[in-house]
Chains A and B, each alone.
Chain A
Amino acid sequence: MTITPAHDPWTDRLSEYVDGEMRPVDREALEHHLAGCPACSVALAELRSVVARAHALEDRAPADDLWPGIATAIAATPRRAPVARPPADWWRRRLDLTLPQLAAAALVVAALSAGTMWIALARSPLRAPAPGATAPVASSPAAASQQTAPAPASPTAVTAATADVVNPRYDRAVAELEQALADGRGRLDPRTLQVLEQNLRTIDRAIGEARRAVAADPANAWLRSHLATTMKRKVDLLRTAAMLTAGRG
Chain B
Amino acid sequence: MAAAVSGVTMPSVDPDTVPAASDAIDVRLAAGGDARAYERIYRRHVPRIHGLARRMAGDDDAGDLTQMIFVRAWERLGSFRGDAAFGTWLYRLAINVILGRRAATRTERERRDHGEGVIEAIPARPARSEHRIDFDAAIGRLPPGARRVFVLHDIEGYKHEEIARMLRVTAGTSKAQLHRARMLMRAHLER
Contact = CB atoms under 8 A, between A and B. Distances in A.
Given A15-B175, A47-B186, A196-B10, 20 more contacts: A11-B122, A15-B178, A42-B125, A50-B186, A57-B135, A57-B136, A66-B46, A66-B50, A67-B39, A70-B42, A83-B79, A199-B10, A199-B13, A205-B20, A223-B28, A233-B18, A241-B10, A247-B5, A247-B6, A247-B8
Q: Chain B: interface secondary structure?
A: helix
Interface of A: 5, 7-8, 11-12, 14-16, 21, 39, 42-43, 46-47, 49-51, 53-55, 57, 59-62, 64, 66-67, 69-71, 73-75, 77, 79-83, 85, 88, 189, 191-192, 195-196, 198-199, 202-203, 205-206, 209-210, 212-213, 216-217, 220, 222-223, 226, 229-230, 233, 237, 240-241, 243-244, 247-249
Interface in B122-168: 122, 124-126, 135-136, 150, 154-155
B82 A222 contact: yes
A226 B24 contact: yes
Contacts of A206: 18-21
- How extensive is the interface on chain B, given as a class? 35 or more
Contacts of B82: 220, 222
B13 A202 contact: yes
B21 A249 contact: no
Given A54-B150, A77-B75, A82 B1 contact: no
Contacts of B81: 85
A77 B25 contact: no
B74 A74 contact: yes
Contact of A43 (B19, B35, B154, B186): B186
Q: Which of B13, B83, B183 has the most CB of A within 10 A?
A: B13
B78 interface: yes
Contact of B67 (A70, A209, A222): A70
26 contacts: A12-B179, A14-B179, A15-B178, A54-B150, A54-B154, A59-B51, A60-B47, A61-B47, A62-B63, A64-B63, A66-B50, A66-B67, A74-B35, A74-B71, A79-B33, A81-B78, A191-B9, A192-B10, A195-B10, A196-B10, A202-B15, A203-B18, A210-B19, A213-B29, A216-B34, A223-B28
Given A82-B77, A220-B28, A60 B51 contact: yes
Contacts of B126: 46
Given A47-B183, A66-B66, A66-B67, A248 B6 contact: yes
Interface in B48-69: 48, 50-51, 62-63, 66-67
A54 B78 CA distance: 34
A247 B1 contact: yes
Contacts of B42: 67, 70
B178 A192 contact: no
A49 B63 CA distance: 30
Nearest to A48: B182
A123 to B, nearest CB: 10
Q: Which of A16, A71, A209, A240 has the most CB of B within 10 A?
A: A209
Contacts of B66: 62, 66
B74 A77 contact: yes
Contacts of B9: 189, 191-192, 195
Contacts of A54: 150, 154-155, 185
Contact of B2 (A191, A222, A249): A249
A2 to B, nearest CB: 12
Q: Which of A73, A243, A249 has the most CB of B within 10 A?
A: A73
